[in-house]
Structure 1
Amino acid sequence: MGDTLVLTAPRLITRFCNHGKKICAFLVVLSAIGFIYRFNYNNSSIFVKPLFSIETISSKAISPEDVLRNGNGIIFIETTNRMEPRPLALCAIESAARVYHDRPVVFFMKGLTNISSEDDMNRTRKSFPTLSSFDNLYFFPLRMEEVFKDTPLLPWFMKVNPDAEIHWIHVSSDGCRLALIWKHGGFYMDTDIISIRTIPEKNFVACEFSQTSGNSIFGLSPRHSFAWNSMESFVRDFNGAVWGYQGPALFTRILKKICVLPELKDVKDGLCGNISYLNPKRFYPIPGPSWKTFYQVWNKLPTFNDSYAVHLWNYANKGTRDTMVPGSNTLVEHLYQQHCPSTYRAIMRKESTHL
């Protein structure tokens, strides 16, 4: 019927337009509808497509490249399939989202499925109630092959056997942070670092001990040579059997090729080439061997006035799994109260932190 109407419409229009304008207009509209019907019918073997479809009204696409395009993001990663971050990780991410409220804070999680639109992002945010109110917080899947693409790490990744690596979670994390910062720039932070105030540097590494660099937090501009040289050394001198060899030890080796590492005294920072070499007090005001003091009651709380963030040495805590206990009056409780209050309230009220 539609085809017949369309085929005979020109003759009908010519004939009836001579008898009145209303009939003529009606036939023109009817002819147009018939043409649209026939066009859609002939181009669909299943159904007739409407002029407007809800499919055309889609959520805006979103990607790490879009979010991190300005090179000033804060990056966290999870290299296991864990989808329920521990309270300390939630605290670390919340504190960063608060301190860097004008920058994107991105959490790459290996266990996440595809996130390609703003709708996906909003649904994922709601899965983490203590973090859902932060519009500057983003979640993306951590796909290692994609992360390592176009870097020296990809050939290594394609050959390495994760099951044979006793420190695979840490080794893969060491590689991912380098590749992500090389590509996007910004700051990388471990999920046991609680942010206190903004870091005024752009290109920096942090001294853990005397003339020993850490890699739990660092910042570089996109495509910085330090990240590229570190990735090349990562592959060339790979030794997964030694914990930290691809991490703090790697950073220290690369720095020593650039300069003689300065002895940092008091609260003075140093410089190594074009990279700031920050004093241990900036991120490690409580040294690793004293990590248990975070979970103790202090007569007088430290101010951390010289610190930009505080590293809680969670790797050393893996055996005892000491945690923040509301009402304990420990140092870590005070840090949660001040810097990640949403996470603290949820723990205190025994509310779920993941839906």
Structure 2
Amino acid sequence: MFLRPRSFRLRLFICVKLLVFILFFHVLELIVFTRFHFDTILDPILELHQCYMDELPGIISEKWTSNKFIILEDVLLSDIKPTPGRTIFFLETKCQSPDSDLKYIMTLTARQACSIESAALNNPNFQVFVIFANPKVIDKKNRFINVIQSYKNVHLRQLNIWRYAKNTPVEDWVLTDNMFLSSYPTEHSSDLLRLLTLYRFGGIYMDLDVVVLRSLENVPLNYVGTEFYGLLSNAVISLEPTGIGHEVAELFLREFQQNFNGTSYIFNGPMLIKRVLATICGTKSVKEMTNNPRLCHGVRVFDPSAFFVLQKLFYLFDPKFLEIAMEKTKNSYLIHLWNKYSKKCLLKADSNTAYGKYAEQHCPKTYEAAGEFL
């Protein structure tokens, strides 16, 4: 049965109108989704850019340019720079209070100060540089900052990520802001900056949750450590500023750039160290790499006793394990506190624990300034 022309045109008009209506809502939905998706990507990038900007905002700079505060110098622009191959580095990449001016005030916990003091105390002929990844001002009233600044070989600096990456293998990659799209921007920026630091200066990088127990001044550079057989760590890395050390640093950076994974916590850190050393050493077996620098072209992989022998927190914080912990660490260069987990462990300064004893001996000024709790 055929439709009459008038009836057909009416139905066609209704169908076209309905299609236009549906199409309009699909376009509107696409615009809203795109806007939302763009904002979810852009917001964290803008927030991190505020943290890692080149300098303090003018109004804040004016407010804090006084006798109470000192603005940190840029590590690349200051008169006193790290001595290549004779410097211990600590890095802080966390952006404190991103929505507040407080993110520009340098803060240190007692345990961070202990890490720095123990490195300076046990290595008086090395420079110790503590570098912040965003502009910072020093509050002269901060007790722990005053402690570490009492050591003449300690220097506090800031850096600008984009300037720091210039003339390195990752310069162009850093400009893409891929790192800021990471699920772990603080950790992954720390992974990158420690490699950039060793590429630029060589020396020794340490996490801010260690206690140095012995001098490292006479330990040949070019080493990492194992946490346990099968896993290497990037919490302690040493490389020469030239020769094989510099070549390894370049390999680390190229591997970081080419295979960056923003969704994995350790892929760009400990796992990266293992991938590169597997190529250098010609084996994927960490057991074969360990204490075998000849196999690894001069790079030494220390066994766990050097840096990571205490892998259970109770050894550090439980008085019942004091003697065992002391025995286990008698030949260690440092102990690692695993801050991600141990920060929840409150410890009285006078407690009869391995960490308390080591803090009293190797960071005595911090120990005294800490008061009741470490």
TM-score exceeds 0.5:
yes
Decide whether the 8 Å contact of 2:261 with 2:267 is kept in 1.
Answer: yes
Deviations 1:97-156 (A, max 9, x none): 101111110000134448xxxxx9x97999812112100000111211122111122222
Cα distance between partner residues in 1 of 2:143 and 2:201? 26
Once the 2 structures are TM-superposed, how far is the Cα of residue 279 of structure 1 from its aligned partner? 1.1
Give the corresponding residue for 1:282: 306
Superposition map of 1:240-319 within 5 A: 240-259=262-281, 260=283, 261=285, 263=287, 269-271=291-293, 272-287=296-311, 290-297=312-319, 298=321, 300=323, 301-303=325-327, 304-317=329-342
Q: Is the 8 A contact 2:88 2:127 kept in 1?
A: yes
Gaps of 5+ in 1: 1-60, 115-119
Q: Which moved more, 1:209-218 or 1:65-74?
A: 65-74
Whole-Å separation in 1 of the counterparts to 2:159 and 2:345? 28
Measure, in 2, the Cα distance between the counterparts of 1:285 and 1:217. Answer: 13
Change (3 A) 1:74 1:125: farther
Q: Which whole-Å deviations, capped at 9, do the CAs of 1:140-196 have from their partners, x for residues lacking one?
A: 112111221111222222112555322111100010000111110100000011111
Runs of 4+ in structure 1 deviating by more than 6 angstroms, as ranges, are: 122-127
Distance 2:353 2:140 in 1: 35
- Distance (Å, rounded) in 1 between the aligned partners of 2:322 and 2:252: 43
**CA separation of 1:94/1:217 partners in 2, compared to 1, >3 Å: closer, same or farther?**
same
Mapped partners of 1:156, 1:180: distance in 2: 16
1:201 to 196, 220, 227: 220
Q: Deviations over 1:10-48 (max 9, x none)?
A: xxxxxxxxxxxxxxxxxxxxxxxxxxxxxxxxxxxxxxx
- Residue 184 (1) aligns with residue 201 (2): yes
* Superposed CA RMSD: 2.9
TM-score of the aligned structures, taking structure 1 as reference length: 0.72
Q: Provide the residue aligned with 2:370 in structure 1.
A: 347
Question: Whose radius of gyration is greater, 1 or 2?
Answer: 1
Unaligned runs of 5+ residues in structure 2 are 1-73, 97-105
Instruction: Give distance in 2, aligned partners of 1:276 and 1:184.
Output: 19
Note closer, same or farther for the CA distance 1:264–1:89 as it changes in structure 2 (3 Å cut).
Answer: farther
Specify the alignment match of 1:51 in structure 2. Answer: none
Residues 156-175 of structure 1 correspond to what in structure 2 (within 5 A)? 156-161=173-178, 164-175=181-192
Residues of 1 paired with 2:230 and 2:180: CA distance?
A: 34
Cα 1:308–1:348 shift into 2, 3 Å: same
TM-score between both structures, scaled by the size of structure 2: 0.68
| 1:230 pairs with 2:283 | no
CA shift for structure 1 position 277: 1.1
Match of 1:148 among 152, 159, 165: 165
Q: Give the alignment of 1:58-73 within 5 angstroms.
A: 63=77, 66-73=80-87
Could you tell which deviates more after superposition, 100-109 or 123-132?
Answer: 123-132
Q: Check if 1:78 corresponds to 2:92.
A: yes
Equivalent pair of 1:262/1:270 in contact (CA under 8 Å): no
Number of aligned residue pairs: 280
Q: Is the 8 A contact 2:317 2:353 kept in 1?
A: yes
CA 1:181 to 1:65, structure 2 compared with 1: closer, same or farther past 3 Å?
farther
Q: Which amino acid aligns with 2:338?
A: W
Displacement of 1:217 in angstroms is 0.5
Name the CA shift for 1:210/1:69 in 2 (closer, same or farther; >3 Å).
Answer: same
Please identify which structure carries the higher helix content.
2
1:135 aligns with one of 125, 133, 152: 152
| C-alpha distance in 2 between matches for 1:124 and 1:168 | 30
Which secondary structure does the structure 2 equivalent of 1:77 belong to? strand
Residues 205 and 215 of structure 1 are in contact (CA less than 8 Å); yes or no, is this contact kept in structure 2?
Answer: yes
Work out whether residues 251 and 276 of structure 2, in 8 Å CA contact, stay in contact via their aligned partners in 1.
Answer: yes
